[in-house]
A and B are shown apart, each in its own frame.
Chain A
């Protein structure tokens, strides 16, 4: 890892990343994300990406995409894992605690408030129509999230050669088809893909 003059660093992929902000500033950002990211996990992940990668520059897009992949390996909610991972990488235990508190306390309270409202309004046709629209908008957010993560991963594969890029695209397409056709458990799709890509990466490193 290379240091830069302003205390930042250059990632192995060559992106320049700024040093993380103080924990108090991180806490405020997470609190804002936990309060305003309506649209469930998709809206929240988008705001995390915007705040820490696009605006802050404290993590590169490739680091973010890889961190998201690491979060799929362990159990439980990936976004909870992601916030703990990012907080810990930025500022150890204090950063992780700030991330978890800031993300989950406001969103947990809002969840309870929305539940109370929903229990009273769910039989009205107007509520159902509005929810249908919300769900459709969330699908749009989800596609944006996929693209923000696909770009750096495909670029990183391209740097390893055309063969790895083609393999990456084939894996994405195959996984989508397998999942659509058979709906297996998600891990049953992720792990074979990871194994194939790992083996090809090793072979490529040996022969390069």
Chain B
């Protein structure tokens, strides 16, 4: 069955509205697109991998998926549907700038910031589970971390060195 672009837009829009990071939109989108018979599990896996590599937000995996299931127009539909929900941040930020000096508001936002610090490495670990975590992963991650802290090596070089190390270790 062919992909209906309006429906694809609505599926992606809904998945973004009910989630607040790139990966959290996966379950909803997975249920909808598999349900319609528009995408397969390996296609989802491939799109998620591309999202980890490409510049821009991880959520661009949805653009990759849009391209896989419906070609260039699918990618455009996916990008548009994913860009609208985050714009709600502008009124939220206007409120924050107005009331951010109140202790309660300041504490609320800092509390979220602290919780994100506790949670975000684990969110990433969940995403990485599929590819397996071993000693090689730990070594590459540690070296990448140190290179970043030196502030002398651009990210793109760090990522390319990671790819090279991966080839040497896992081939």
| B residues 97-128 touching A (CB-CB < 8 Å) | 97, 100-101, 103-126, 128
Flag if A77 contacts B54 (CB, 8 Å). no
Excluding A74-B86, A136-B137, A186-B119, 20 further A-B contacts by CB distance (< 8 Å) are A34-B55, A42-B58, A70-B109, A72-B112, A78-B22, A78-B57, A82-B89, A107-B57, A108-B56, A133-B170, A134-B163, A134-B166, A137-B140, A140-B147, A176-B118, A179-B119, A180-B122, A183-B126, A189-B115, A197-B107
Cβ of A25 within 8 Å of any chain B Cβ, yes or no, is no
Cβ of A10 within 8 Å of any chain B Cβ, yes or no, is no
Majority SS at the chain A contact face: helix
| A residues 71-106 touching B (CB-CB < 8 Å) | 71-82, 84-85, 88-89, 96, 100, 103-104, 106
Cβ of B6 within 8 Å of any chain A Cβ, yes or no, is no
Considering only CB atoms and an 8 Å cut-off, how many residues of chain A contact the other chain? Answer: 109
Q: Which residue of B lies closest to A79 (CB)?
A: B57
Flag if B154 contacts A130 (CB, 8 Å). no
Flag if A69 contacts B164 (CB, 8 Å). no
* Residues in A neighbouring B136, C-beta threshold 8 A: 132, 136
Q: How many B residues touch the partner, as a band? A: 35 or more
A38–B104 Cα distance when bound, in Å, is 38
Given A85-B90, A138-B159, decide whether A39 and B53 contact each other with a Cβ distance below 8 A: yes
* Residues in B neighbouring A96, C-beta threshold 8 A: 90
Kindly name the residue among A38, A130, A143 whose own CB sees the greatest number of chain B CB atoms within 10 A: A38
Kindly name the residue among A103, A149, A193 whose own CB sees the greatest number of chain B CB atoms within 10 A: A193
Flag if A114 contacts B90 (CB, 8 Å). no
Cβ of A172 within 8 Å of any chain B Cβ, yes or no, is yes
CB distance from B46 to the nearest CB of A (A): 6
Kindly name the residue among A39, A136, A153, A186 whose own CB sees the greatest number of chain B CB atoms within 10 A: A136
Cβ of A47 within 8 Å of any chain B Cβ, yes or no, is yes
Flag if B115 contacts A80 (CB, 8 Å). no
Flag if B119 contacts A118 (CB, 8 Å). no
